[in-house]
A and B are shown apart, each in its own frame.
Chain A
């Protein structure tokens, strides 16, 4: 059903509305899928709008695919339609990390966050920055931590960018009163990727400096 105007979403169920995209759940060629469509913004000049949305659609699809190559579980992409700024991808099973953490006791939390650290290290070792490592963007299925929504992601070799990526996760844990468990993330991260020591060191610098620097 992928046409120039994109997939038919008239019967799809809206499951999320973000600042730049709508998420739908629907059937596509017999599969349960998530469709992410970057919507037209009437406030901006059409040329800017088309270029941004199309570029970001391609960029996100590329990151999702590269993350899989790096050994991290992300949604499988079934199709992308650049014209309509649409990505059709696997509907992932799993519970948001934030919910799973709340339900766990201390030991379970530690183990899970160690695991999260390992998975983030796999991304960073491959120079992939997620850009929004908050509790809703990691889904836990069995023992696997999966990553969704690379909408703010970039490719970068910079220690700073990787540090900021981890810092977002640290802040997210802080919001859930689990800040002291961030060291489990660090442990798993360095275990998975010993070269990531300077990233962990940078996180400490980032979290003390705040804004206006």
Chain B
């Protein structure tokens, strides 16, 4: 089964061709284009304009790189939510048009679940707890009592959002994560930042204010970046461990753009080993938002009998992880 997956929930638009080879995911092409605002944060409408301009070339490139003819596609999958409304609508429109034109089925996919499924399909993790950390999302998700459930999450902003806001204030390029990681590597002094964990939930907004204050009071950028990483990643690792203990699971999977950070990977891996478990990290282009994870999740849903009429493909900005009936597990 050859599936074209289109992703566009936030600042990236992506398209990928994926097939299943003996039940395993084979990513044939995976094209991602990121909208980078000149200044300021992501404006949903401007991001959607970017996607509207780029979605067709991105799809064309994905198909060309995969060396397939559009007529060979068996399925169109797209990100149905959660995400920014205008972006979701743009990508959904492209998916519907293709489905109607090519006369192939269409499936809307939950973006958060797709992060988990592509990890399962490509890393060897079987039944992991997913720590999903991106710009807008920070969640701990696992399969529990027949559904994918959010066991813990941020009570305010996503961690990527915190890092980007901090970066914007002090001139780091968007997304701020990679630069912040480099600066943190030359920092060594742990400065005081609020550590806010409540059960399995975390909160970040107080940390942003505190970090900005530290810089304004003359602390070095390197030390603040170091402290930001040490504190926020420890919070995430702690709630992930709680979720593993609670559900009695030994595997942990990383997902989301922030999970490309080496220090976060190390912390999660140390935690998993200490528990006698294992950590799994998908390839970088499968960690960030991408079409391949959407295509693959579409394939396994279709294989389990999920079908959608075009009128059922309305986007859902607040698509909850536990709304999805998981018929494929």
Contact = CB atoms under 8 A, between A and B. Distances in A.
B287 interface: no
B320 A19 contact: no
B190 A48 contact: yes
Contacts of A142: none
A127 B244 CA distance: 30
Interface stretch (B3-11, B84-92, B100-108, B234-242): B234-242
A42 B234 contact: no
A44 B153 contact: no
B153 A211 contact: yes
B270 interface: yes
Contacts of A132: 199
B300 interface: no
Interface in B262-285: 266-268, 270-271, 274
A48 B197 CA distance: 13
Contacts of A212: 82, 318, 320
Given A18-B245, A19-B245, A44 B237 contact: yes
Contacts of B242: 19-20
A44 B231 CA distance: 8
A20 B241 CA distance: 9
Instruction: Report whether over half of chain A's contact residues are helix, strand or loop; otherwise say mixed.
Output: loop
A21 B230 CA distance: 21
B195 interface: yes
B153 A48 contact: no
A43 B271 contact: yes
B237 A43 contact: yes
B244 to A, nearest CB: 7
B190 A211 contact: no
Interface string A135-166: 00000000000000000100000000000000
Contacts of A19: 238, 241-242, 244-246
A180 interface: no
A11 interface: no
Interface of B: 82, 150, 153, 190, 195, 199, 230-231, 234, 237-238, 241-242, 244-246, 266-268, 270-271, 274, 318, 320, 322
